[in-house]
Amino acid sequence: MQSSQRIAAIVGGSGDDGWSVHYRAHGLAAAGVPVTRLTVGDHDVKTDASILAAMQGAMTGDKLGYMPVSGIDPLKAAIAARVTAQGGPPVSTEEVVVTPGGQAALYCAAMAALDPGQSCIVLDPFYATYQQTVRAVSARPITVETRAEDGFQPDPDAIAAALAPDTRAILINTPNNPTGCVYTRERLEGIAALCQARDLWLISDEVYDRQIHHGAHLSPRVLPGMAERTMVVNSLSKSHAMTGSRIGWLVLPPRSAEHVVDLAIAMTYGIPGFIQEAGLYALTHGGEIEDGIRARYRRRRDQALQVLGSGNLVRAVPPAGGMYVMLDIRATGLTGIAFAEALLEQERIAVMPGESFGAAAAGHVRVALTVPDEELADALGRIVQFAGVVKAA
């Protein structure tokens, strides 16, 4: 039997989902080979014991039954308060849908914004699931490159030039994965003006909004006239080290939120109550936990820039936010893929090839700052040395 064309088309033409180095590193590690894995954005620090205690405490009585499909009221209220604190029109609980992670929120946003055959702007470099998410709803991603020389800031003029008659949405991500770019007010205002002039949705992925090293996060929802056309995606994965709990949210206008609940009824039928209680605890008592996580990545980011400052073959792109550093390895003459594959074979260090995030990240690799400080410093030092060896070869 054949699967539907729709599902078979999710990965797209090449059949490569961009994660092959990561999977290979995983396979090596499972076979007992020591590998430093700097591929995926999962924390070395585990979910805090106090959050787990809240989760365990909720694993009794009615918290093991079905939950309201859009999320439990106190959690939706806490999310509404958190998003309202960013500014702009206050968020009501009718505008909040709790989802199994930010990824599911992205999928729900794509389902709510795009009809089959329509198109969505995706800025390149992009988070590795974006194109698949758009294709999963039978829509078409249109990629618009952001340029290294422009600090990977989005260019509203370039986006305007790329719009097709069937474009219904623009998907953005600030702070950005993989580049670490924090979009400026000016660029976001340019995108907002475009959305209003062309009647487009703006899907705003803000999962790194609490991990700012430089500057400030601005949610485009707060800009005048944008709350009615912005869908804000966020989660507790990065901010509270809760990747495995799969808890996130989508904030969007009430009518569309109702439609997303219809979708959730057809798909998840809600999120486990004990996970939602843990999320509620994290949002209401987890300020110090969040600060600690932010500080950890800030420290490692600074450490990485220090180690890489001296290696001229490997140039770090200083990230303003997030949990990653992009390395420009073009001076070695290798592609990001060739560099990452050889680095894994020879040094047993796994990094993501830039090409996994789009053409604009070619000749780069992305390093996740997700191993203990000493291991990270050692791995970065070896990456610099390795670049010298492959350049000479």
For residue 154, what is the DSSP state? -
Task: Return the number of the residue (43 or 330) whose C-beta is nearest ligand PMP.
Answer: 43
181 near ligand PMP, rule: CB under 6 A: no
Minimum separation from the CB atom of position 391 to ligand PMP (A): 31
Binder of ligand PMP out of 48, 124, 205, 277 (CB under 6 A) = 205
Stretch touching ligand PMP by CB under 6 A, among 11-19, 96-104, 269-277, 310-318: 96-104
Residue 47 has φ and ψ, to the nearest 5°, of: -55, 135
352 near ligand PMP, rule: CB under 6 A: no
Task: Return the number of the residue (167 or 235) whose C-beta is nearest ligand PMP.
Answer: 235
| Letter string b/e over residues 135-160, b meaning 16 or more CB atoms within 10 A of that residue's CB | bbbbbbbbbbbbebeebbbbbbeebb
Instruction: Provide DSSP, 332-387.
Output: GT--HHHHHHHHHHHH-EEEEEGGGG-GGGTTEEEEE--S-HHHHHHHHHHHHHHH
248 near ligand PMP, rule: CB under 6 A: yes
Sheet holding 324-328, edge to edge: 36-38, 349-353, 364-368, 324-328, 315-317
Minimum separation from the CB atom of position 259 to ligand PMP (A): 21
- Contacts of ligand PMP in 99-158 (CB under 6 A): 101-103, 127
For ligand PMP (CB under 6 A), the number of binding residues is 13
95: tokens are: 């505008």
CA 317 from centroid of its chain's CA atoms: 18
Tokens 């990270």 belong to residue: 376
173 near ligand PMP, rule: CB under 6 A: yes
311 near ligand PMP, rule: CB under 6 A: no
71 near ligand PMP, rule: CB under 6 A: no
Tokens 């990747």 belong to residue: 243
Beta-carbon contacts of residue 258 (< 8 Å; ≥ 6 apart): none
Stretch touching ligand PMP by CB under 6 A, among 85-93, 183-191, 235-243, 383-391: 235-243
211 near ligand PMP, rule: CB under 6 A: no
177 near ligand PMP, rule: CB under 6 A: yes
User: What is the Cα–Cα distance from 139 to 111, expressed in whole angstroms?
Assistant: 9
Binding site for ligand PMP (CB under 6 A): 41, 101-103, 127, 173, 177, 205, 207, 235, 237, 243, 248
